[in-house]
Structure 1
Amino acid sequence: MTGSIETLFVAAVTFVGAHFLLASQPVRAGVVQAIGERGFMIAYSAISGALFVWMLLAYGAAPYVDVWYPAPWTRHVVFTIMPFSVLLVVLGYLTPNPTALGGERAFEAPDPAPGIFRITRHPVMWGIGLWALSHLAANGDQASIVLFGGLAILAFGGMVAVDAKRARKMGAKWGPLAMTTSILPFMAILEGRTRFDWAGIGWRRVGIALAGFLLLLLGHPYFAGVSLVH
């Protein structure tokens, strides 16, 4: 069911809540015991995908109700932040991710935190969080506040939750990674706990991220209904 702010709110709360609930230790342990680790990952991805689609449909069908009128300069905020947001997401997905679902295998690598993970150990969540906050600044209607606010809560709250879960599950293996990486971008580098790793990033991944950003820019009127290129 879609067509109201209330439905969107329920969809957003369910989407965000399901991530924290399914990833919690008691629930995850019970599900893994019942259907195995691979079964849990498939179920987690399927549930998350279905809830995400529901939330997007509810957002598209929700009425437009202004809460505030964004200043014209907020449009420039989106254009400034989004290239970095896309870059973080692409680099996070194209590099073995020790903090992702099923990313435990990355801990067995000689360098469990290469490339983008020297900058932050949560690049995908930072990318999603920055995307949500920039769009929240540029959209002052109720539906956008619910959608992008929910995604921001999931992204930034998820970083803390993932760290706690990884520390509990990986034990002694988590310590070296936590000491040589940081949640806050560039903090570990500035503190001298690690060094920038351009070789682990590479021009190929940056090129893919740039292409992805251009596709989002050109495709925005088709999937979001708003043209960004005039």
Structure 2
Amino acid sequence: MGYILLILGIALFAGGHWVKRLAPEKRAAWGDKGKGILSVAMLAGVVLMVVGYRGAGFVNVWVPPAFMTHIANLLVLIGFWFFALSNINGTMAARVRHKQLTGVKSWAVAHLLVNGDLASIILFGGMLAWAVVSVILINKAQPTWERPVQVSVAKDAMAFGVGAVLYGIVAAIHTWLGYYPFPM
């Protein structure tokens, strides 16, 4: 049952995000009420992903090498940095159009490198696929992009600091949940 909930959660989360791109007229007809419905669907998707992932039986697909943990931690830190860059206009913010989706891709690849079980492959592979398809859909719908102005390296550093703090908080939560993210 865990795998079904996991897949359903990914589908709800992705579908909720893609409605605007795949059926813009229908989405526009829903008005503000539609935003609420889609938000609830996406939130339900996240809940189902968590419940499904935690309830999925362990099926080992491959055993990741221990050194991948270092690479994964770096990729997660980069992912948080890109999330911060979506609100803080550093020079990287002017180079990368889809900062949050780039952050999700970095986070997903990191988790795929260190988790070789089937549930992890479905969850993190699904989130990676969602982010890649989302970039394609957005670029197709809006081929031009207005780059942020008044960017600076100082703002890059500020965004990195925010990302590092978020990374530390999430690492602490992982540790609290019993998933120690740092190698000995």
Query: What TM-score comes out, normalization by structure 2 length?
Result: 0.85
Deviation at 1:213, TM superposition (A): 1.1
State the match for 1:64 in structure 2: 58
Is the Cα contact below 8 Å between 1:31 and 1:40 reproduced in 2?
yes
Summarize the alignment of residues 1-230 of structure 1 with structure 2, pairs less than 5 Å apart: 3-20=1-18, 22-26=19-23, 28-34=24-30, 36=31, 38-92=32-86, 94-95=87-88, 115-167=91-143, 174=144, 177=146, 197-198=151-152, 201=155, 203-223=157-177, 225-229=178-182
| Structure 1 residue matching 2:181: 3-state secondary structure | coil
Distance 2:165 2:109 in 1: 22
Distance 2:12 2:37 in 1: 16
Q: Look at both structures and tell me which one has the larger radius of gyration over its CA atoms.
A: 1
1:117-167 per-residue CA deviation (whole Å, 9 max, x = no partner) reads 312000100100110011011100010000000000011111111111224
Amino acid at match of 1:154: W
Per the alignment, do residues 58 and 219 of structure 1 end up closer, same or farther by CA in structure 2, a change over 3 Å counting? Answer: same
Deviation at 1:211, TM superposition (A): 1.0
1:50-78 per-residue CA deviation (whole Å, 9 max, x = no partner) reads 21111111111111110111111111111
Is the Cα contact below 8 Å between 2:8 and 2:48 reproduced in 1?
no
Is the Cα contact below 8 Å between 2:91 and 2:155 reproduced in 1?
yes
Is the Cα contact below 8 Å between 1:32 and 1:39 reproduced in 2?
no
Runs of 5+ in structure 1 lacking a partner? 96-112, 168-173, 182-194
Please report the RMSD computed on the Cα atoms of aligned residues, expressed in angstroms. 2.6
Is the Cα contact below 8 Å between 2:72 and 2:114 reproduced in 1?
yes
**Over 6 Å off, 4+ runs:** none
Higher relative contact order (CA 8 A, sep 6+): 2
Identity of aligned residues (%): 21
Deviation at 1:25, TM superposition (A): 4.5
Is the Cα contact below 8 Å between 1:116 and 1:201 reproduced in 2?
no
| Structure 1 residue matching 2:116: 3-state secondary structure | coil
1:63-116 per-residue CA deviation (whole Å, 9 max, x = no partner) reads 111011111111111112111110001221x24xxxxxxxxxxxxxxxxx8754
Q: Which moved more, 1:212-221 or 1:121-130?
A: 212-221
Is the Cα contact below 8 Å between 1:9 and 1:146 reproduced in 2?
yes
Distance 1:134 1:203 in 2: 22
Distance 1:157 1:87 in 2: 22
